[in-house]
Chain A
């Protein structure tokens, strides 16, 4: 059973124990130490590992490296930060001014409406006066 597990692990991860699950490395080493004939399992996996390692990894070209580096984030200048601060301050003042105008217009129309209502009430109390004269 233990030898079977060793086979299965070598079949999956190859001969290099550094690629094995950390929890299984000591198990493999102790098993091979107890039965050196099991090392053949790792040797077989090592042959395939060697073939796989013969496939070279491509190196990035200078052009690709330059293109990638050209797009890297740039440090923002102090001037940029000051400009941005000025923009936000300006935008804040403009928003406050707009809010003041809107509030003023709203308040004025409400006060005017009250005045008009009072005028109508006053007019209705004046029985002896002709409506058209009051409103004129």
Chain B
């Protein structure tokens, strides 16, 4: 069996012993990451906060009994957050809302895509329109920067299936955002986003 190198191992151990500095460091390291994951999966800031909070609460419970070497803590945290996201997505499907979710205007607009903030909004909307599994694949690989093996394991699919979801997801995104691409030079957008 291959030993798993976990960069969070020491921090988690210290959190489990009740070290407040370690808890603070873990929050600084993981909370933004989990919040971003939830926000991109759910497209709702309030729900994303709830998921991030619940995930971190579960992390606090897990820390004292965390067994190093079995899995990476970050992967476990993603699994918890994704489960919570899927619970909420399922509930949304079971209880359809009266007002449909905000859909962007598909027609051309002269000023659309000129500002990064607007572009960000459009990307968020395009992402939320993807089928759940395609969105999960794109979020895990592009935004969370998990390796293909980690992402496939989290999604409980093969690497080939992951690649297929990624390709279909990115193709759909390219199509949704096609009106933005010519006006948004890659380097400029990248510069504004970072």
Residues of A within 8 A of B123 (CB): 51-52, 54-55
Stretch from A33-41, A72-80, A86-94, A106-114 that touches the partner: A72-80
Q: Whole-angstrom distance between the alpha carbons of A50 and B64 in the complex?
A: 41
How many residues of chain A are within 8 Å of chain B by beta carbon? 40
Q: Is the interface of B mostly helix, strand, loop or mixed?
A: helix
| B91: interface (CB < 8 Å) | no
Residue A118 CB within 8 A of the other chain = no
Which B151-194 residues have C-beta < 8 A from chain A? 159, 162-164, 166-167, 170-171, 173-174, 177, 180-181, 184-187, 189-190, 192-194
Q: Mark A23-62, 1 if CB is under 8 A from B, else 0.
A: 0000000000000000000010111111111111111110
Size range of the interface on B? 35 or more
Q: A71 on the interface (CB 8 Å rule)?
A: yes
Q: Which residues of A contact B190 (CB under 8 A)?
A: 49-50, 53-54
Contact indicator A72/B15 (Cβ below 8 Å)? yes
B41 contacts chain A at the CB level, 8 A cutoff: no
A-B contact pairs, 24 of them (CB 8 A): A8-B163, A11-B166, A12-B162, A12-B164, A14-B170, A18-B145, A19-B141, A20-B148, A50-B187, A50-B189, A50-B193, A51-B119, A51-B173, A53-B193, A55-B121, A55-B127, A57-B32, A57-B35, A64-B52, A68-B31, A69-B23, A73-B18, A73-B63, A75-B19
